[in-house]
Structure formats: C-alpha cells, structure tokens
C-alpha cells in the first residue's frame, strides 16, 4: 500500500523532506497555522520575547569569548570588553539592555494574557509553561547579575543568597551549598557562570519550545476570547482564522521594527537608563570590605524585593490574622470532616509563623508572589475569558492590581522608610487578595455576551 507524504519531491528541499519533516513542520507551525484575524497591538510581545532571547544568546556567546570567570579577573575582563575588544562595548550594551527589555516584553506579554484570559481552558498548560519561563528568566538574570563582579553584583548576590539561610533547618546548609563557600567568592562566581551560560539557557530553550508546541496544539487566543476552531468552513479552515505566514509574520515585522528603534535608542543614548539598567555602583570593582550604602536589585526584581522588605514582625502578625480568618471561613463552609484540610492547614501555618522569624516569611511572600501566577487558570471562575465582556468593576480590580504591582516596583528601588514600608505592605496585601479572592469576585456582576464570531475590522 502506497503511503502519501506531504513533502516536496524534487530538488534539495525534496531530498531533505524525505529524511526530515522540514516542509510539514513549516506548514504546521507557520504557513498553515491559522491564527485569529483580530490580533491587536498586545500580540506583538510574544514574538518580541523570542527576538530578545535570540539576542541574549548570540551576544552572550560573544561576551564569553573574552570574559574571565575569575574573582581577580572578572571585572577587568568586562572593562577589557568595553574598551579594547572591537565593538565590545556594543555587544555588552546589547546584552545588558536586552536583559531589561526581555522583562519589559515578558511583563507586557503576561499582562495581555491576564486581560484576555489566555490562561483559560484549553490553554492552561501554555500558561504554566509561560510562568515556568518567567521563573527561569528570573534565575538566569540573578545568576548573570554576579558576573560583572562589581559592588552591586557582589553585595546583591550576598544578600539574596543569605535569604536562603532563613529557611528552617536546611537554610544555612542550603545557602552554603549555593555559594560554595562561606562568603560570595571565586567559587560562587564560577558556579554562577556555569548556570548562567549553560544550565539555565538549556532549560529556558526547552521551555520556550514546549510553550510554542502547546500553543500551536490548542491554537491562539484572541481579544474576544472566542475559540476560532469551533467554526470551520467546508475545507476545515477556521472561518475567523488567517495563516500566520505571511499575514502575521509581516504584522510582527512592523512590531520588531518599532522595538529595534527603541532598543537602539537606549543602547546608543542611555544604556544605563538612569541607573535602572546598569547601576553606578556596578562600575566599581567588588570590595568585600566595603558595603554599599543601599543594596537593591535591578528594577525587574524590585516589586518582589519590596514585598520581602515589607514583611516585618508587625506585618507577620497581620498575615497570621488573615490566615486564621481564611481558615475560619473554610471551617464554616466545610460540611464534612473530609473538607477540614484547609482549616487544619491554616492552623499549622499560623503556628509555624508564630515560631519562625519574619525574614523567612518574607522569602515565602516573595516566592508566593511568583508561584501564585501558576494557579491563575484554576482561580479565575469567570464565565467569559476576555476583559471586554466582564463587568466594569472587574476592570477596576485589574487596574488596582497593576497599580499595586507598579508601586511595589517603585518602592523597591528606594531606601526603606516607615511610610514606604506601610505602602508596600498594603500593596502586597492587594496583590495576594487579587489572586485569593478570584474564585469569588470573578463570578460576580453582569457579563456581556461574547459574539459568536470574532470582531474584526480590516485595515
């Protein structure tokens, strides 16, 4: 029985297709991948994230050709790259600016998913892979932050690694294992270099591939939150879908062009971005004997750092009261012994908080702020996906959540004070209330009926 193959039969492409699924892969994921025809501005950021990932890998390869992962040579090797290597300054600035721009586009990409319900069924796994990518990016940025071996690199790594020592029982040994020494030293620099250059990028690339494969399996979401696969023509093609290539490849090329203008402007005119992308203290060689007056992470970590810093002893008492109230609420709702899991868990958490220091719970709060994102597909109980068809007060809640996150990010860049700590504590409570209250508030209100077909105006 003859087997038909959807491949080229002649030429070089035909020769490859008979040995490797080149044409069929191109068709499945690009030229015959049908995306909703109503994509808007917010759908640029996925392809931009892929572009920045390629930039980071390529520039990182060139940087490693001259970088020395040695405590006595690291800082001078970066200076050598900047001053002596032909175009080395450009490659270094492309890499440092790319790190910040990576988080810019990823934050905007995640915000688009939040607005249009891109985490809802059947895209739960796409969202989980995306959150894993975000977590991986944070690890990659943290490990890379030490490599210039400047003052902020050294002391920032010292502070962050010391946080692990707050974990009961295993904390001191865990922080010692991460550093490889009792202080941040040459051993730490070498292992961070290995993680930054080899281990984390391999995991990151694998997660990106899994993210894209999962996305193309279930199809892309759209601003209306309508599944275009539900309505197909006689030829099996979605009525509201258009091929990704050439329509969205050209569409994304326009977004890439605008992005590259902004990217180039930052590199050539403001690579330090007022100290937010590259801090002044990091142009001073690391000195273990001189602590900087204020130690703060790079801007993309500052929201979570503000939550960590805001977890003081009085705030821990507030958290204990909130956990106790949540446990009491779960107990009232329980109608059988088999539903007592949450109240018992709340009691255990309150007891643990009473006998452990606030520093540990600051780490828990900071980590919980990231882990909460993973559960979003199961927390949101709204009957519609897109924010377009939700009640107005839902949009207000989304706005308050974004404002609280931006406020935390700003406060994390400033020295602590009683007023800023109080504001950070309020914003942290708003952040977690947004997620914990989702099963309740996402059901409330009068929802608009989404259209049967996507709303699209040709332009």
Claim to verify: residue 275 and residue 346 sit in the same structural domain: no
| pLDDT given at position 291 | 86
> Is 109 among the annotated ligand-binding positions?
yes
- Is 196 annotated in a binding site? The answer is yes
Measured in Å, how far apart are the chain's first and last C-alpha atoms? 49
Q: Is 5 annotated as a binding residue?
A: no
Residue 5 has pLDDT above 60, yes or no: no
Same domain (yes/no): 211, 324:
no
* Average pLDDT, integer, range 244-260: 92
Give 280-313 pLDDT, tens digit per residue: 899 999 998 888 888 888 999 999 999 999 999 9
Q: Structural domain tally of the chain?
A: 2
Pairing relationship of beta strands 241-243 and 34-36 according to DSSP bridges? antiparallel
Q: Which one, of 285, 256, 286, lies nearest residue 79 by Cα?
A: 285
Residues 77-102: tens digit of each pLDDT:
999 999 999 999 999 999 999 999 99
Q: What is the mean pLDDT of the chain?
A: 90
Residue 380 domain boundaries: 299-441
Q: What is the pLDDT of residue 210?
A: 96
CATH of the domain at 433: 1.20.810.10
Per-residue confidence (pLDDT) for residue 3, from 0 to 100: 40
Of 109, 89, 90, 113, the residue nearest 101 (C-alpha): 109
Tens-digit pLDDT profile for residues 154-177: 998 888 888 888 888 888 898 999
Based on the fold, state whether residues 174 and 46 are members of the same structural domain: yes
Question: Quick one: 256 and 387 in the same domain?
Answer: no
The set of residues, in sequence order, having a beta carbon less than 8 Å from that of 300 and lying 6+ positions away, is 100, 103, 107, 141
- Same domain for 163 and 278: yes
**What would the 3-class secondary structure string for 398-439 be?**
HHHHHHHHHHHHHHCCCCCCHHHHHHHHHHHHHHHHHHHCHH
Does position 359 have pLDDT exceeding 90, yes or no?
no
- The answer to the question of whether 216 is labelled as a binding residue is yes
Query: Would you call 374 exposed, middle or buried from its count of C-beta atoms within 10 A (0-12, 13-18, 19+)?
Result: middle
The answer to whether residue 385 is domain-embedded is: yes
Q: Do 61 and 201 belong together in one domain?
A: yes
- Whether residue 450 lies inside any domain: the answer is no
Q: Is residue 12 part of a domain?
A: no
Q: What is the pLDDT of residues 94-137, one digit of tens each?
A: 999 999 999 999 999 999 999 999 999 999 999 999 999 999 99
Confidence of residue 343 (pLDDT cuts 50, 70, 90): confident
Kindly state whether residues 88 and 116 are assigned to the same domain.
yes
Q: What is the pLDDT of residue 319?
A: 87
Give me the sign of the Cα torsion angle 157, 160, 165, 170.
negative
| Residue-wise pLDDT tens digits, 397-441 | 999 999 999 999 999 999 889 999 999 999 999 999 999 999 999
């Amino acid at each position: 029985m003859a087997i038909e193959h959807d491949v080229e039969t002649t030429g070089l492409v035909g020769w490859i297709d008979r040995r490797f699924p080149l044409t069929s892969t191109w068709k499945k994921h690009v030229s015959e991948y049908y995306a909703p025809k109503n994509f808007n501005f917010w759908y640029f950021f996925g392809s931009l994230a892929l572009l920045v990932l390629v930039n980071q890998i390529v520039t990182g390869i060139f940087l490693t050709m001259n970088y020395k992962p040695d405590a006595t040579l690291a800082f001078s090797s970066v200076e050598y790259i900047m001053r002596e290597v032909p175009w080395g300054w450009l490659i270094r600035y492309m890499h440092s600016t790319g790190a910040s721009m990576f988080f810019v586009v990823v934050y905007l990409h995640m915000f688009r998913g939040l607005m249009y319900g891109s985490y809802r069924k059947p895209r739960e796994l796409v969202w989980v892979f995306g959150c894993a990518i975000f977590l991986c990016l944070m690890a990659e940025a943290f490990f890379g932050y030490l490599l210039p071996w400047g003052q902020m690199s050294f002391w920032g790594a010292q502070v962050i690694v010391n946080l692990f020592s707050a974990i009961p029982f295993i904390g001191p040994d865990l922080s010692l294992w991460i550093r490889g020494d009792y202080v941040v030293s040459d051993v730490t620099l070498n292992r961070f270099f290995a993680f930054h250059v080899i281990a984390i990028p391999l995991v990151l690339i694998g997660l990106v591939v899994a993210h894209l494969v999962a996305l193309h399996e279930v199809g892309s979401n759209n601003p209306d939150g309508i599944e275009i696969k539900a309505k197909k023509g006689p030829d099996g093609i979605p009525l509201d879908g258009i091929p990704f290539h050439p329509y969205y490849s050209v569409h994304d090329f326009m977004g890439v062009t605008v992005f590259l203008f902004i990217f180039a402007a930052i590199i050539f005119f403001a690579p330090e971005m007022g100290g937010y992308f590259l801090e002044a203290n990091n142009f001073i060689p690391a000195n273990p004997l001189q602590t900087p007056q204020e130690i703060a992470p790079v801007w993309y970590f500052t929201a979570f750092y503000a939550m960590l810093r805001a977890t003081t002893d009085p705030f821990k008492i507030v958290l204990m009261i909130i956990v106790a109230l949540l446990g009491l609420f779960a107990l009232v709702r329980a109608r059988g012994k088999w539903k007592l899991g949450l109240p018992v868990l709340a009691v255990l958490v309150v007891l643990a908080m009473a006998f452990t220091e606030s520093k540990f719970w600051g780490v828990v709060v900071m980590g919980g702020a990231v882990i909460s994102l993973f559960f979003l597909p199961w927390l949101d109980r709204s009957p519609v996906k897109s924010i377009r068809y939700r009640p107005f007060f839902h949009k207000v809640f989304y706005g308050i959540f974004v404002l609280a996150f931006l406020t935390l990010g700003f406060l994390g860049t400033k020295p602590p004070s009683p007023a800023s700590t109080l504001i950070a504590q309020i914003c942290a409570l708003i952040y977690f209330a947004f997620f914990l209250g989702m099963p309740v508030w996402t059901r409330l209100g009068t929802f608009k009926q989404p259209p049967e077909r996507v709303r699209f105006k040709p332009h």
